[in-house]
A and B are shown apart, each in its own frame.
Chain A
Amino acid sequence: MVRYLGPLGIFIILVIFLARGLMLNPHEVPSPLIGKPAPEFLLPQVQDANQQFGRKDLLGKVTLLNVWASWCVACRQEHPLLVQLARSGRVEIYGLNYKDTREDAMRWLNQLGNPYKVSAFDQEGRVGIDYGVYGVPETYVIDKQGIIRYKLIGPVTPEKLNKDILPLVKELQG
């Protein structure tokens, strides 16, 4: 009996490792930017090409920076939640409009509602590269000092919002 315990133990360890591997999402690459200052940028705004928006406008308050595009399907999925969150006034949301046209972006905001205080217009996706964006939508929590505290790849879901984002925002605001 005892001599079967060794192989059984090895088997159980193997199962634990494989199960853990199955539950990880390979598309969620850990960002090296967490805990680092948000990269500097200065871009025209989506709604007004003559006005600029940059990193310094994010300082002094806890903010969500949401990367979105009118061509991104998952953005449509998370959008009502963002509108609702903006209405609740719990945190300011800023947008980074990624590789889009101004016309499409404006149509999107007019049709679906605008949760963003301001959206920056990153037509070339250059700022996106600095922020390590590789799959829109992405959402960053940035603290008062302009340090990235959290990054979500993929759509914001009620679960992620209530379990991860809002508690963190509250803690950083406190």
Chain B
Amino acid sequence: MHRLFLAALLCLPAWAWGEPQSIDRISNDPVIEHRLMVLSEELRCLVCQNETLAASRAGLAIDLRNEIRDLMVKGYTDKQVVDYLVARYGDFVNFRPPLKPMTFALWWGPFVLAALAMGVLVYYLARVRVRTARTDVLSKQDHDRVNTLLSKVREDGNT
């Protein structure tokens, strides 16, 4: 029983230990709440990295949602809010990585690989065709033999 309890304790993430609970300050303005909901679906919670900022219950995520509400009240556009977060936490807060030289490989890499694979496939098939075509070609001798045989069959058929 003691062991089980200890194991359960170890499962608690260290940062959750007694961290003061933050509370969402829900705005009276439904437009802001809606914008927040849509925007925070696109943003990453940095503490629990595979959760969106919208879904997370981590203290920091709640703080950041409150921060975004405040920024929106101040008149920030969605893009300005994202820029504000990127300036502090980096591109990682975006679930959709932005397109820039550092992420070119990420965005185009799969297409480049697919094109390469297609190239290899086409090259391989072409080589196979050349090889099989070469063995299919009949020598002049065989060709004449086939023709004589065929004409014989046709004559037999006519009679």
Contacts and interface: CB of A to CB of B under 8 A. Distances in A.
Interface residues of A, number: 25
Contacts of A134: 46-47, 60, 89
Nearest to B91: A32
Contacts, number: 59
A102 interface: no
Interface of A: 26-27, 29-33, 69, 71-74, 99-101, 124-126, 129-132, 134-136
Nearest to B12: A73
A32 B90 CA distance: 5
Contacts of B14: 72-74
B contact patch SS: helix
A134 B63 CA distance: 11
Given A71-B18, A72-B19, A134-B47, 13 more contacts: A29-B46, A29-B89, A29-B90, A32-B87, A32-B88, A74-B15, A101-B20, A124-B63, A125-B63, A129-B88, A132-B88, A135-B15, A135-B46
Interface in B27-44: none
A124 B19 CA distance: 12
A136 B16 CA distance: 11
Contact of A26 (B47, B49, B90): B49
Contact of B20 (A32, A33, A99, A129): A99
A164 B18 CA distance: 31
B144 interface: no
Interface in B69-112: 86-92
Contacts of B17: 71-73
